[in-house]
Structure 1
Amino acid sequence: MPLYEHVMIARQDLSNAQAEGLIEHFNAVLADNGGKTLDSEYWGVKTMAYKINKNRKGHYAFLRTDAPTAAVQEMERLMRLHDDVMRVLTIKVDAHEEGPSVQMQKREERGERRERR
């Protein structure tokens, strides 16, 4: 099955438990449609670069999935209809990276940055 990575931004006035509940809900949607979540990370409340629906901050979540296209489309459809979800980004990848995402790594653990030209 194809591999996907999803990033979701939920409203800032949700509690941490409610935001993590959204992640579990969408994991269940994938499982019901024949997919599986390989890894999920809750990144917490972060400030956005610009306002979305009059919100300056949002709860960020990251999912790594292995699911058929129909399951991903159904999950995205439900995310877009959900009142608490502001934005969704889904990317199809060839392989998942091992370990935590860059957002969850400490600065010392990240690789060296390239020089800018």
Structure 2
Amino acid sequence: MPLYEHVLIARQDLSNAQAEGLIEHFGTVLSDNGGKLVDSEYWGVKTMAYKINKNRKGHYAMMRTDAPAPAVQEMERLMRLHDDVMRVLTIKVDAHEEGPSVQMQKRDDRRERR
């Protein structure tokens, strides 16, 4: 099955538990449609470069999935309909990277990658 990475931005007035609950909810949507959630990361509340729906900040989260295209399309459709999700970005990748994403690494570890 194809591998995907999804990044979503949720409204800032949600609690951390509610934002992480969104990840679990969309993971179950994938599993119901024949895919699986390989890994997920909650990046926390971050300031955005511009306002989206009158919000300056948002809860960021990333999901790594292994799912067929129809399952991903259904998950994206439900994300766009959900009131708490402001933006979604889905990227098809050849392979998932091991370990934490660049966003979760410490600054010292990032410099060593160069």
Instruction: Give the TM interval when normalised to the shorter protein.
Output: over 0.9
Q: How does 1:77-116 map to 2 (within 5 A)?
A: 77-112=77-112
* Unmatched 5+ stretches in structure 1: none
Residue 31 to residue 106, structure 1, CA distance change in 2 (3 Å):
same
In the aligned structure 1, how far is the partner of 2:113 from the partner of 2:6? Answer: 25
RMSD (CA atoms):
1.1
Is 1:49 the equivalent of 2:81? no
Is 1:73 the equivalent of 2:82? no
SS at match of 1:64: strand
Q: Which one has a larger percent helix, Structure 1 or Structure 2?
A: 2
- What TM-score, normalized to structure 2? 0.97
The list of structure 1 runs, each at least 4 consecutive aligned residues, that deviate by more than 3 angstroms after superposition, is 111-114
* Unmatched 5+ stretches in structure 2: none
Partner of 2:17: 17
* Larger Rg computed on CA atoms: 1
Deviation at 1:110, TM superposition (A): 1.2
Residue 50 to residue 113, structure 1, CA distance change in 2 (3 Å):
farther
Residue 113 to residue 50, structure 1, CA distance change in 2 (3 Å):
farther
Count of matched residue pairs: 114
SS at match of 2:107: coil
What amino acid is aligned across from residue 27 of structure 1 in structure 2? G
- What TM-score, normalized to structure 1? 0.95
